[in-house]
């Protein structure tokens, strides 16, 4: 058995081989390193543009966390409910990781909880729109970030949210 760490969220995974994606944040396997090689990189100071983009990302991730949680609780379809329960957990991990970068406590927010409707099809379509907006935003944020760690973080989020688009088609 080996111990791995995700460079995006910092969570630990134990297994014979690294996973294809992080079970916590969804980052692809190339973001995993052996735990003994992992180093916590913390920027002493972030650029104003990175701080602003991380704040916007936090709002986006919290809204999606709550929206997906609401769908998982509302849907009568076990597959749809399960998918959105998983997506909600991944988005929550993104929000927590953003808070680590900003060195703030995660805000308690109910935004997004009231946006789920009774139609699974409509909720899935809205989720797909949200994920496409997220990919667009994270692409822009990555291009604007002067810090390499933040560039990598936004790149990973672009990849993860792109996976979610495929899932919600």
Domain residue spans in the chain? 2-37, 48-167
The pLDDT, as a whole number, for residue 107 is: 87
With CA atoms as reference, report the closest residue to 48 among 130, 115, 146.
146
Regarding pTM above 0.85, the answer is yes
- Burial of residue 32 (CB within 10 Å: 0-12, 13-18, 19+) is buried
Q: Which helix (H) or strand (E) holds 133?
A: helix 120-144
Q: How far apart are CA 80 and CA 129, in angstroms?
A: 17
Spelled out in words, what is the top-level CATH class assigned to the domain 2-37? mainly beta
CATH architecture of the domain with residue range 48-167: Up-down Bundle (1.20)
The pLDDT, as a whole number, for residue 76 is: 97
The pLDDT, as a whole number, for residue 42 is: 61
With CA atoms as reference, report the closest residue to 86 among 7, 130, 22, 134.
22
pLDDT per residue, tens digit, the chain (169 aa), is 999 999 999 999 999 999 999 999 999 999 999 999 887 666 568 999 999 999 999 999 999 999 999 999 999 999 999 999 999 999 999 999 999 999 999 888 888 889 999 999 999 999 999 999 999 999 999 999 999 999 999 999 999 999 999 988 7
């Amino acid at each position: 058995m080996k111990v791995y760490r995700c460079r995006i969220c910092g969570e630990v995974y134990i297994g014979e081989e690294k996973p294809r994606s992080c079970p916590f944040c969804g980052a692809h396997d190339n973001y995993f390193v052996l735990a003994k090689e992992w180093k916590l990189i913390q920027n002493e100071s972030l650029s104003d543009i990175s701080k602003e983009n991380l704040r916007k990302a936090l709002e986006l991730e919290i809204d999606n966390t709550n929206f997906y949680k609401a769908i998982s609780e509302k849907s009568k379809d076990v597959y749809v409910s399960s998918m959105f329960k998983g997506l909600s957990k991944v988005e929550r991990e993104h929000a927590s990781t953003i808070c680590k970068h900003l060195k703030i406590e995660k805000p308690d927010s109910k935004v997004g909880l009231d946006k789920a409707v009774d139609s699974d099809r409509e909720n899935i379509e809205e989720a797909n729109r949200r994920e496409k907006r997220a990919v667009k935003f994270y692409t822009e944020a990555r291009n604007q970030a002067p810090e390499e760690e933040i560039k990598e973080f936004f790149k990973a989020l672009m990849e993860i949210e792109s996976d979610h688009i495929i899932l919600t088609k």
